[in-house]
Amino acid sequence: MYELIRSIKTAVIMSKTPIPKPTESELEILQVLWQHGPSTVRFTNDQLSQKREVGYTTTLKLLQLMLDKGLVLREDDSKTHVYRAAVREEETQGLLLDRFVDATFGGSAGKLVMQALGNHPTSADELAQIRSLLNQIEQQRNNTSNAKGQTDEPA
Amino acid sequence: MYELIRSIKTAVIMSKTPIPKPTESELEILQVLWQHGPSTVRFTNDQLSQKREVGYTTTLKLLQLMLDKGLVLREDDSKTHVYRAAVREEETQGLLLDRFVDATFGGSAGKLVMQALGNHPTSADELAQIRSLLNQIEQQRNNTSNAKGQTDEPA
DNA sequence: AAACATATACGAAGCACGTCGTAGATGCAA
DNA sequence: TTGCATCTACGACGTGCTTCGTATATGTTT
């Protein structure tokens, strides 16, 4: 019965919100769901509790709010509900990255990259990956030097 | 008289807080101070108002709170106070970057860099700079394979 | 069926942040 | 010196986020 009301409310209210921005706590939960797939409240809470102390009902409430926001989906066949992420990992990270670059680095992604590489230990493997991406970008830029516009499409 | 009380309170309470984390609004103000140097409330507010509507007393209050937190310093010789940043730009950005990498990319700076380069238009100049930094890091990594300390000084 | 363990729903409190109104202080112009 | 413009100080409100307590529902075990 509870569920029915909630479902209706959710369906009506949330119809067309573009992309909700998760808070930090919500992000923590999304990390769990991305990493482990669909999870129960209990499991999610256990995962979170490994890093810091969190009450069970806190995690539950968060997941319910995230359901309202459309950040997660839910399957409630049995007594125990199962939640799964409704937003993709990279897409969400990209959204947050945009905001962060604007707010903190005045929109300059280059500055951010410099800082990130300078201050954080990065594996040789990742460095190689970055270098490869760099090549790809510059090559693409040369190819389209007099084409109509340079897209910043990565692939 | 107001100032005296505030000064004492500030001096006593704030004695040794390590590094306060600025909020988004505080960051906006810091951007202005970093870019234009010491500024009055009026000037700061004018700058902020170019991007979005902000009340004068809002900016004032923010600056006062930032003073309490130790994010800015103040010279009040004349009637009109002059504020200047008490934290350095790169240091602050680094602090925020740390938190962001942890919260959003699970601590992987490499992932963040890949996303940033992939999704944001970056000038050829910046790309070259990044490539140079990349070289520097890898070279350094080879040299210090058994030496004691590698500095991560960029310049 | 009754008792128990475990799940969900929801109200409410505490806090931080951003915003503004208003009172009081200060300097300048007439 | 009296007004007027401009500044600072500060209280208070609205909102969003996080947390938790408690009531209610549901499934399981005896």
CATH numeric code, B2-89: 1.10.10.10
CB–CB contact A127 B111 (8 Å)? no
B119 within 8 A of A141, measured Cβ to Cβ? no
Query: Per-block average pLDDT, block size 10, for chain B (155 residues)?
Result: 45 55 96 97 97 96 96 90 96 94 92 90 89 90 62 41
Report the SS3 class of residue B62: helix
Q: What is the pLDDT of residue A120?
A: 83
Retrieve residue B35's tokens. 């870019």
CB–CB contact B130 A114 (8 Å)? yes
Beta-carbon-side half-sphere exposure of residue B43 (alpha carbons within 13 Å): 15
Which nucleotide is the nearest neighbour of B40, by CA and C1'?
Answer: D7
Find the length of chain B.
155
Q: What is the pLDDT of residue B37?
A: 97
- Calculate ∠ Cα B17-A118-B117, nearest 5°: 115
Query: Per-block average pLDDT, block size 10, for chain A (155 residues)?
Result: 44 55 96 97 96 95 96 89 96 94 92 90 89 90 62 42
In chain B, what residues touch A94 (CB-CB under 8 Å)?
A: 115, 119
Q: What is the pLDDT of residue A145?
A: 62
Report the percentage of chain B scoring pLDDT > 90: 64
- Residues touching nucleic chain D (CB < 7 Å): A 1-2, 23-26, 53-55, 57-58, 61-62, 65, 78-79; B 2-3, 5-6, 40-42, 56-57, 60-61, 64, 79-81
